[in-house]
Structure 1
């Protein structure tokens, strides 16, 4: 039992883990997570997880593509489907009385897809369009370049959607084979946040997912790869702005050090009053957009700095970014007052997650798919309270070294 929510867990006979959290709200949220994403794909399979996510909405044994979309719309809530590095998520959030028909839809598309051949080439074209749109977006384009520059063998060098060449070459048989390998109940987790008792949800899960057949699932060994300390410059046609990305990995940190890094990241560039925002935008007027972000997910462990600006300001901005990093490492930019504010910001973000059914459902699912303690955030909160300025400075010195730096200029600059 946790301080913030109580959860119950049952594993069905076929291996599907069902976890429920009972709340007093009128809203439910249900999400099914399958432990397959781009980190589990071989080099000749990149983009297959994402392609399957799209194809599952194209038809089942009892629903056409039109029926699926209509049935989701009739729930009157919201639905989500997306692929990450580590998993693929399917979820619906709506009024509590819509839970059962929503589980019916989620189970149908994930356990009884037909992969209609007539939809296959069309959907590949849709994803190719999605990839091209990403390349037209300067921020996405810059990050794609940075990832390819930073890594040699890691899954992180690949876009989750794969690339156009691979997608064009995939056959429907490859997609079906990949689906059969990974879409198994013993490789999935169902989470439900709702007003219903655990037993009621388990009964629904048995009804809609109980016939899903289990099978042994191959799990690829994931090897972590530190970013390369290298600088890349790329020129791109028809852009008005240039971009700068600094990329760091932090695989060697303890969880306590990661929490210290979260505080540092908020101070550096994630909060509205961050150092990067104040110096590059407010003081110098060099940029409209500047931020840092951090992903502490298993096997990812990335901290990034990003900004877009005029080409003539790139070197000035780089000088300021380097000076800020030095200031964090020597401690003069880290003040006790700011540390306390950043701790409050992180606590507020956690509290917001706990009271929103969809966010809580997603948090629980992420923890379970990664085989982590559901209540680990409570330990993190206790750790957060005791993090010192000296620990933040130490983690800055440990992480903010040897970045991958990617700069994109207009072709004429």
Structure 2
């Protein structure tokens, strides 16, 4: 395959092939292991049948042209390697972690899974049973399931409202022919980014990629992924289960990864509900004793996102918990936080960013995200600078934008004996 574009910044290198495949790497010297990922730019929000992208994540491990699932597992683990995959709302990533001495062999195994999958009817039906059990396990865990309900309440009829796994009834509709068509349509070179992080030379990565990807389609036109931005139509979603606590999530749509709000909102979220020094933790847990678990978090996608506030409390304290969450919002709207509080939140974010870079797997995933979303390499120093640039005025502006009472979606799982 012909390389049509290259880029090198320090230990980071990028090569773009004529068939659209992008290969990026970061050489981290004096490390004994490496982490590699093959990311396909297709996720749950692109599903034609809810759950098909996630089903594909499972299905490719069942059988390739030369290996079955047992052989795949045995060969990885004989080399001491760990391989897995995950699906998000926007991407599907297959990865391996291994010692660098086994790079060539383990990378070949990873490529075989992604590039040479075949779909055998009886094996796909068995995998379907496994996925249905996975869905049941999430539905049995209220702290997991509440966020699926929060997506429904926050994104309403948009594809982002669907869980990544799909629903039991939609997964049952997916057969091996549906998967085969999905695979041929989206698992193409121009829809894939390969990333390797560790003490591995970029030329060696490119050489192996050339070997395994050379037969992938050249100059094929991908179907247009209709990623429409969700409209705002917040609803309340409540279900009852045989549990002791009420689980609550307040949800609101936010701007996405490409927005200038991204870092200021991350700082505001940290200050408001992420960590033991946050306002939610200190006031609702430490002061009022309403919840053991209470926090806020942000999920960011390319063009939008969600801000969720979670609490688990005695069902009798359900209303009071929500009222006090709104009260904390009002406090931030009416009065700016102190400079000391702002700096503490920024320091938390900066430290988390730096620590994350010490993990080869985290670095690999961040490189993939930056390439797919922004098409560029973002250094840690640039991220730190953006966090440092957040001001008290930014926090005040975003507080007034987002902390409007009665303008949040609410998802709840309550005990079935609570009226």
Give the TM-score normalised by structure 1. 0.94
- Listed one character per residue, the Cα deviations across residues 197-227 of structure 1 (whole Å, up to 9, x for unaligned) are 2112111111222222243211222121244
Rounded to whole Å, the distance in 2 between the matches of 1:137 and 1:331 is: 38
SS in 1 for 2:242: coil
1:114 matched to which residue of 2? 118
Rounded to whole Å, the distance in 1 between the matches of 2:345 and 2:198 is: 32
The question of 1:29 aligning with 2:35 is answered yes
Matches within 5 A, 1:9-28: 9-24=14-29, 25-28=31-34
Q: Which of 262-271 and 6-15 deviates more?
A: 6-15
Conserved 8 A contact 1:2-1:375: no
Among candidates 62, 65, 73, match of residue 69 of structure 1: 73
Matches within 5 A, 1:88-167: 88-167=92-171
1:225 matched to which residue of 2? 230
Structure 1 unmatched runs, 5+: none
Structure 2 unmatched runs, 5+: 1-6
Inter-CA distance 254–163: structure 2 relative to 1 (3 Å threshold): closer
1:242 matched to which residue of 2? 246
Inter-CA distance 9–2: structure 2 relative to 1 (3 Å threshold): closer
- Listed one character per residue, the Cα deviations across residues 342-396 of structure 1 (whole Å, up to 9, x for unaligned) are 1111111111222221110110011112244221654442232122112101111
Q: Which of 46-55 and 152-161 deviates more?
A: 152-161
Among candidates 266, 290, 293, match of residue 289 of structure 1: 293
- Quote the offset at 1:293 in angstroms: 0.2
Q: Which of 198-207 and 245-254 deviates more?
A: 245-254
Rounded to whole Å, the distance in 2 between the matches of 1:134 and 1:172 is: 24
Rounded to whole Å, the distance in 2 between the matches of 1:86 and 1:125 is: 24
Conserved 8 A contact 1:248-1:400: no
Matches within 5 A, 1:249-260: 249-251=253-255, 255-260=259-264
Rounded to whole Å, the distance in 2 between the matches of 1:95 and 1:233 is: 48
Q: Which of 115-124 and 82-91 deviates more?
A: 115-124
SS in 2 for 1:329: helix
The question of 1:7 aligning with 2:38 is answered no
- Listed one character per residue, the Cα deviations across residues 18-41 of structure 1 (whole Å, up to 9, x for unaligned) are 111111111111100001111112
Conserved 8 A contact 1:227-1:247: no
Q: Considering only aligned residues, what root-mean-square deviation do their CA atoms show, in Å?
A: 1.9
SS in 2 for 1:9: strand
Rounded to whole Å, the distance in 2 between the matches of 1:303 and 1:398 is: 13
Matches within 5 A, 1:151-230: 151-214=155-218, 215-230=220-235
Among candidates 380, 393, 396, match of residue 396 of structure 2: 393
- Listed one character per residue, the Cα deviations across residues 306-342 of structure 1 (whole Å, up to 9, x for unaligned) are 011111111121121010010111225x121111111
Q: Which of 50-59 and 346-355 deviates more?
A: 346-355
Rounded to whole Å, the distance in 2 between the matches of 1:54 and 1:338 is: 44
Inter-CA distance 40–231: structure 2 relative to 1 (3 Å threshold): closer
Rounded to whole Å, the distance in 2 between the matches of 1:376 and 1:357 is: 15
Give the TM-score normalised by structure 2. 0.92
SS in 1 for 2:357: helix
Matches within 5 A, 1:374-389: 374-375=377-378, 378-389=381-392
The question of 1:350 aligning with 2:353 is answered yes
Conserved 8 A contact 2:293-2:312: yes
- Quote the offset at 1:253 in angstroms: 9.6
Among candidates 337, 342, 351, match of residue 340 of structure 2: 337
2:4 matched to which residue of 1? none
SS in 2 for 1:99: helix
Among candidates 278, 284, 292, match of residue 282 of structure 2: 278
Inter-CA distance 158–254: structure 2 relative to 1 (3 Å threshold): closer
